[in-house]
């Protein structure tokens, strides 16, 4: 089962360091999403790609955050100068461009900033 794959699953970093997460969507899914989830809350939308184009960004995505999907396949989410408030689970999801529009999530990447 080639679901949405995220790496690394866990990352502990010191405040001020940069971190990068990778997401490999389900094959042939041209839509890719990043969400963030903190303890006790539901996931919150961060950004959306259709193929390689980043079409939507949340206000939650400060200028320290950057996401790319250079060839319309995998995506990376980089957080620069991490802060303790960045500690969360970062979820990647993908969906095909057809009706039914079911969005499939990966297992998430946990970030702990110490």
Partner 1 sequence: LAKTTQPISMDSYEGQEVNITCSHNNIATNDYITWYQQFPSQGPRFIIQGYKTKVTNEVASLFIPADRKSSTLSLPRVSLSDTAVYYCLVVLDTGFQKLVFGTGTRLLVSP
Tokens of 76: 């990376």
CA distance 97 to 84: 36
In this structure, how many other beta carbons lie within 10 angstroms of the beta carbon of residue 12? 11
Is residue 89 at the binding interface for partner 1, with CB under 8 A as the rule?
A: yes
- Our CB check for partner 1 shows the closer of 43 and 79 to be 43
Residues 25-84 that bind partner 1 (CB under 8 A): 31, 33, 35, 40-45, 48, 50, 55-56, 58
Q: Is the dihedral angle over the CA atoms 98, 73, 53, 10 positive or is it negative?
A: positive
Residues that bind partner 1 in the complex, under the rule CB under 8 A: 4, 31, 33, 35, 40-45, 48, 50, 55-56, 58, 89, 91, 93, 98-108, 110
């Amino acid at each position: 089962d080639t679901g949405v794959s995220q790496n690394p699953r866990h990352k502990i970093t010191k405040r001020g360091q940069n971190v990068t997460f990778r997401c490999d969507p389900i094959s042939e899914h041209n839509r890719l999403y990043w969400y963030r989830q903190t303890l006790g809350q539901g996931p919150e939308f961060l950004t959306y790609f259709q193929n390689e184009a980043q079409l939507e960004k949340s206000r939650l995505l400060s200028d320290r955050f950057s996401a790319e999907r250079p060839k319309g396949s995998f995506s990376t989410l980089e957080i620069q100068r991490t802060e303790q408030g960045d500690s969360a689970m970062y979820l990647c999801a993908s969906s095909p461009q057809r009706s039914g529009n079911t969005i499939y999530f990966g297992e998430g990447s946990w970030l702990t900033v110490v």
